[in-house]
Every structure is written in structure tokens, then in C-alpha cells.
Structure 1
């Protein structure tokens, strides 16, 4: 799953499927962010799947905020979902390709038999 990050010094917004409809995990993330020195406001929007953090750039860096979200597990869950989606897409592709190859072999065999007869 991809993450969209919009950043201007003092305000960081991250949009990710990780923030959708997971109130307990989102609350943990919000608590971790508010515990950081320099973070003044955190707004979570589960419907949009985004979190907005307002902070004092003199006290906390963007990297530290992202690190706190990673520690809270906000990005790890998305990675597992991406891996699952990628694996299922790979399996579907293999199955589809197998069906196409089988069909081509059947047609070739029929043509070969018809030429021989």
C-alpha cells in the first residue's frame, strides 16, 4: 500500500489505508505523537485514511514523527497488505498464463492431428 505524504514545516499530513477504520491502532498512534515534544495538534480522519500533525519544527523533526508512526505499527500493517495483494496478483497471473498456454497447446495439437490425417 502506498503512503501519500504532504509536508510543510510545522504541518505533516499522511494518507494511508493503515489509518482507516482501525480506531484502537489509530488512537495508539495519536497518543504516541502527542507524547512527542513539539507536537501541538494531531487530527485523525479514519474515513479519509489520513492523519495530520501540527508541530514546532524547532523541537521535533519530520523524520522523528514518521519514526513514531512506524513504531506504532502504522506502516507495517500496510506492508503486509501490499505483500498479500502482490502475491495474489502473481498467482492470478500464473493461473491465467497457464490457461492461455494450455489452450494454445490444445489448438496446436488439433491442427497437427488434422494435418496428419
Structure 2
């Protein structure tokens, strides 16, 4: 997951190899802050994209989301994300996330 110009990007390859007929499907991007001082969801949906794949077809795509989608209410009442590791997971369902990437959030880009 890259964080440049306040955008998170994850490249994922989706395929319809499990489908006999193909069709439209949704690729989802979830994130999780590994060491937050407040309770956070295990999977927070921050981006998704519909793709139309024929049976057996695969497509490489990039999911993007503004970094502000990672923000939450901090213990001091402000909004932001604490410095530390953030893990992004992409896939066709919340229980089938085959693409996993990690990045670090630094102190400079973590508050509104």
C-alpha cells in the first residue's frame, strides 16, 4: 500500500477462475491499524471496485482511497490515525482477501 499525495493505493489481481459463467464482481479493500490505542475494526472497508470478468479471465487493478478514510476519533478527541503499521487486504469477499500489503504511517501525516 503506497501513501503518496494523501492517497492509499493497492494493486490486486482478480480472477473469475472459480466461476463457470463469469460476470460482474466486486473487489474490496480493507485496512486495519495494527497498534491503535483505541478499539478499531478488524476490517475497515475503505474502497471497492466493480469489475466484469468472463469465466477464467483475470484483471490487474489498482484500488485507491484518500488517506482520510483511515482516520478515526482519537483518545484526545481529534481525528486522525496514530503512527504505526497499517495492513491493507484486498479480495472478492471479507473472508477471501488474497492480497495483503503493509505500510507505515508517520507522525507528519496523521491528523486533521
Instruction: Say which one has the larger Rg.
Output: 1
Greater relative contact order (Cα 8 A, min sep 6): structure 1 or 2? 2
The structure whose residues are more often strand, as a share, is: 2
TM-score of the alignment, normalized to the shorter chain, above 0.5: no
Range into which the TM-score falls when normalised by the shorter chain: 0.3 to 0.5
The structure whose residues are more often helix, as a share, is: 1
TM-score by length of 1: 0.32
TM-score by length of 2: 0.32
